[in-house]
Amino acid sequence: MPHPPLLSIVIPAFNEEIRLPSTLSSIGSYLAAKGLDAEIIVVDDGSTDGTVRIVEQARQGGLGRARVEGPGTPTTEGVRFDPERIRLVRNPENRGKGYSIRHGMFEARGTWVLFTDADLSTPIEDFEKLHDSAREGDHDIVIGSRALPESRIELYQPLYRVLMGQTFNRIVRWIAGLPFRDTQCGFKLMGRERVRPLFERMVVDRFAFDVELLFLARHAGLSIAEVPVTWRNSPVSKVGLLRDPLNMLSDTWRIRRRFQRGDYRKAAVGKERLVP
């Protein structure tokens, strides 16, 4: 790549051969239509299915409409994409979403880094909302939110998951002192140079990664905005009903305790410092 792109799109992926083709197709079509200078980084988290094959196929030029070759074998076709603009990086084993996003951040070369889930529950077009907010408000981090009055939910989660998510977010806000309505939406934009020093100190590998990032960013004095996005529930959720929420709460307590003990150290971020 001759010069750093404006945008790096990081997609953590674990066994995503079914959903990834349409996601890459949508992102590739959007970038081409808008003429955006961007790269896509897919972080394979120890997948045992055809996830790696899908990305390699996209790198070879087959990035487009999802189709099926034979029983249950997804592939891509249609939109052509510069192979230098889509990269595959691989974890040595399954380490979790947080670890994968950190890996992607360290590989990213863009001025801005966008994290999005492999199911693209928030459409890639909503990048513009986050980017506009970042530029107009001079924000370092802009997070998509499903919980603001202007948010648009096209397909809801089952009621029990909605209630559990709301309960978790209230508890997290209390433990971590975060004011945001939705910490867990997998659609976040951030300035790479300002935020990367935080990533070098983060330790949470799984789903409480978002909480750790926002907690440290607030204590570093970074500017964070929350904006409404469109969201469509994916029926195939990889978040366990009880185990993962309990682990997330446990990790949130550990984040607070680590900070109070000074374990994150005094991380310099611009002119700001993390001070317990």
3-state secondary structure 254-265: HHHHHHHHCCCC
Q: Average pLDDT of 259-269?
A: 74
| pLDDT single digits (tens) 201-248 | 999 998 899 999 999 999 999 999 999 999 998 766 555 556 777 888
CATH 3.90.550.10 fits 7-271, yes or no: yes
Answering whether pTM is above 0.75, one says: yes
Q: What does the pLDDT look like over 137-157, one tens digit per residue?
A: 999 999 999 999 999 998 776
pLDDT of the residue at 233:
82
pLDDT in tens, 96-109: 999 999 999 999 99
Q: What rounded mean pLDDT belongs to the chain?
A: 87
b/e code 195-220 from CB counts within 10 Å (16+ = b):
bbebbebbebbbbbbbbbbbbbbbbb
pLDDT at position 148, please? Answer: 95
Q: Tokens at residue 86, please?
A: 């889509």
CA distances from 175 to 160, 248, 252 (A): 23, 12, 7
Per DSSP, the residues of 48-87 read SSSHHHHHHHHHTT--SEEEESSTT-EEEES----GGGEE
The pLDDT value recorded for residue 158 is 73
Q: Which band of pLDDT confidence, cut at 50, 70 and 90, is reported for residue 275?
A: very low
Q: What percent of the chain has pLDDT over 90?
A: 68
Q: What is the pLDDT of residues 170-186, one digit of tens each?
A: 888 899 999 999 999 99
The whole-angstrom separation of Cα 83 and Cα 101 is 21
